Amino acid sequence: MASLALTFEDVYNAVSYFLGETSSPGTDALAAAKEIVYRAYRQFLFPIDPATGKTHTWSFLKRTTTLSLEDGKSTYELPDDFSYLLIPFKYTSTQGRANPIERSTSQIYEMQSMTPTSGPPQYFSIQAGEYHATTGQKYEVKFWPESDGAYDFYFTYIIEPEKPVNTTDLFIGGSYTSEVILQCALGIAEIQEEEKGGLQEVKAQQMLNALIGYDKKNSPKTLGTMTDPSVLQGHYGRNNIHIYEVTYDE
């Protein structure tokens, strides 16, 4: 099915044309236009919400997936596009257990000398995994205690979108998103050429703010039913359970 979304080529050609180049820019001009698009894309991914003054998290960067634990294993690689954890690990089915609580990696290592050494995971930490210059930084999660069987969790994280390279590559978010990215790129090109902001930058901010307002309608105001881990039955023998409906503002 044909898409109205602008391709990588559409956007960098528009930037090149704005900078006064022909429809077939030379190697240096093309590289300069692409770099402007990359800058615009990076800035677009983490915009400031004018209503709150805080970074807005786009709904299309949120991804929920599952993780299956194995008997005798405590450390697992997270998805290649993992950026940071948004909603922690939760059991996929009702098993009468409290969901694991996040702790620092150093605390998890300290817990390894405690008992029990295996069982249903009670704590977890996110830690840096392997890094390669060609593939970037990887992340992994470590659980304690070591799993004594197969457990399935789901979690939500923020993705790190792929870098557009090919002419037909599309930007994340859809057709209007690509239009906003184009305008952001024109705003950066304008500042580069004029050494100050102008009409293109103002228009870019207006379109970005409008998209943030629209996107917030796609984001739920609740994280669902949450439990207070300090009063859950578990490792420390507490047996009172308090349930809360947790809401949040972006």
151, pLDDT greater than 80: yes
Distance, in Å, from the CA atom of 74 to the CA atom of 35, rounded to the nearest integer, reads 41
Average pLDDT over residues 155-175: 96
Determine the pLDDT at residue 247.
47
DSSP E strands: which ranges in 52-161?
62-69, 75-77, 82-91, 101-102, 123-132, 136-144, 151-159
For residue 137, the tally of other CB atoms under 10 A from its CB is: 12
130, pLDDT greater than 80: yes
Determine the pLDDT at residue 158.
97
Tens-place pLDDT, residues 49-59:
999 999 999 99
Greatest CA span in the chain, whole angstroms? 72
Residue, of 234 and 9, whose pLDDT is higher: 9
Average pLDDT over residues 160-172: 96
Determine the pLDDT at residue 96.
72
Average pLDDT over residues 151-175: 95
β-sheet with 62-69: strand ranges across:
62-69, 151-159, 82-91
Query: What percent of the chain has pLDDT above 90?
Result: 70
Place of tokens 């409906």: 245
Determine the pLDDT at residue 232.
42
CA distances from 184 to 14, 35, 188, 226, 249 (A): 12, 13, 6, 38, 26
129, pLDDT greater than 70: yes
Tens-place pLDDT, residues 65-83:
999 999 999 999 999 999 9
243, pLDDT greater than 90: no
Predicted TM-score (pTM) of this structure: 0.81
The rounded radius of gyration (Å) of the Cα atoms in the chain is 23
List for the chain the helix, strand, coil content (%; round to 5).
30, 25, 40
Determine the pLDDT at residue 227.
47
33, pLDDT greater than 70: yes
Cβ(121)–Cβ(147) under 8 Å?
yes
95, pLDDT greater than 80: no
